[in-house]
Amino acid sequence: MPGPRRVVVTGTGVVTPIGNDVPTFWSALKEGRSGVGPLRDIDFEERYVRDLFIQIACQVKDFDPKTRIRNRLLLLADRYSQFAGAAAVEAFAQSKLEVPLRDGYRSACIIGSGAGGLNTIEWAYNQLFTKNRRGNDPLMLLKFIGSSAAAHVGIDYGIKGPTFGTVSACATATHAIGLMLRFIREGLVDIGIAGASEAAINYGSMKAWQAIRVLSPDGCFPFCKKRNGTVLGEGAGVLVLEELEHAKARGANILAELKGFGMASDAKDMINPDIEGPKEAMRQALQDARITPSEVDYLNAHGTATALNDINETRAIKEVFGNAANKLAISSTKSMHGHLLGASGGVEAVACVKAIEESFVPPTIGLSVPDPNCDLDYVPNVGRPLKVCHAMSNSFAFGGLNAVLVFGPAPA
């Protein structure tokens, strides 16, 4: 009996606050560059924006959709769909797949978003309720629905198999990538693009996040004693995934293997994290990858810099990894690119692939004085060369929704 179909990464694409393509993004991670800056370009009355207590964010800079996307229809889309389209262009270009895909029904597209077209919604409500304008954008509905990014990318590349978006708050991209792993492994499709996109930095969103009291007015300092909240970000991260023999047959350059996926729910609280769900998701991912904890060299932590999450994640890692936790290199790249909400797991998956490719682990910047309750190796402030065979990526979301991926080296 042949073994299960293996799934490999042949393309990566990102749009982030520290780089609008993978080479720029990875260079910024290696250098420990921060994307935190003053809140800007909020299309709302200035008197309202000035009243925001939180005046910082990790925003995408110098993004011109006209130079980054294939389909001119995307120029009319919401910013979150444009980010997804740009990331997909990069990922497919790297994969060197012939597009449109030859057999569209043997391909899939799962690109999620936690918030969807939130900028479109705010613009429309601002027009209606603040400026008392009765007219409306005829494309508004198509812009804000959470499946628009997936639909646009599917149209661009002739993807006729399963095409939809996932929604699981900060675990959205990781769920999307994990589902694609299952689709390919189980033989439903041979090729897929998966990840998530987010563009949710506007006045209403900032007010909502400010009200829940998890945003920092100072910066994002995961696992640090001085941490006081996360920093809202935006962007997209996607992977092109293929069945191993399909990739080999066309001579593809394989970047890494996606080996494991785990998911579990806390089923306890909408805000406060619990240890059991993250533990179970990590255990499932290791079991699915058929490796032991000691075989993981690098862990890209969820690491939001909120007081409860960082301690909870540290405890979960210790319980799952046991003695191996003390030898594990861990970092939160959110310290640099901020919390990209649903897109975080996609961008962090790309960071894991690059860590394996280049034998280098990015740092957790701003880690001046560690929290005594967070006492693992978080690669403080400066990245380091390290042979990475296996990398794990954690995504733990509001509602207790946990998803974890495990990547390994490109098969010989």
Question: 296-332: string of b/e by CB count within 10 Å (b at 16+)?
Answer: bbbbbbbbbbbeebbbbbbbbbbebbeeebeebbbbb
Single-letter residue type at 242: E
**Sequence letter at residue 51:** D
Backbone angles phi, psi at 382, to 5 degrees: -130, 125
Q: Which of 302, 337, 374, 390 does the annotation list as catalytic?
A: 302
Catalytic site residue 170?
yes
**Integer Cα distance of 321 and 129 in angstroms:** 53
Q: Which of 58, 109, 170, 374 is catalytic?
A: 170
Query: Of the residues 339, 352, 374, 390, which is catalytic?
Result: 339
Is 339 noted as a catalytic residue in this protein? yes
Write the DSSP string, 355-377. Answer: HHHHTEE--BTT-SSB-TT--S-
Strand order in the sheet with 107-112: 163-164, 107-112, 191-198, 235-243, 7-15, 256-265, 401-408, 391-397, 298-300, 329-331
Looking at the annotation, which residues are catalytic? 170, 302, 339
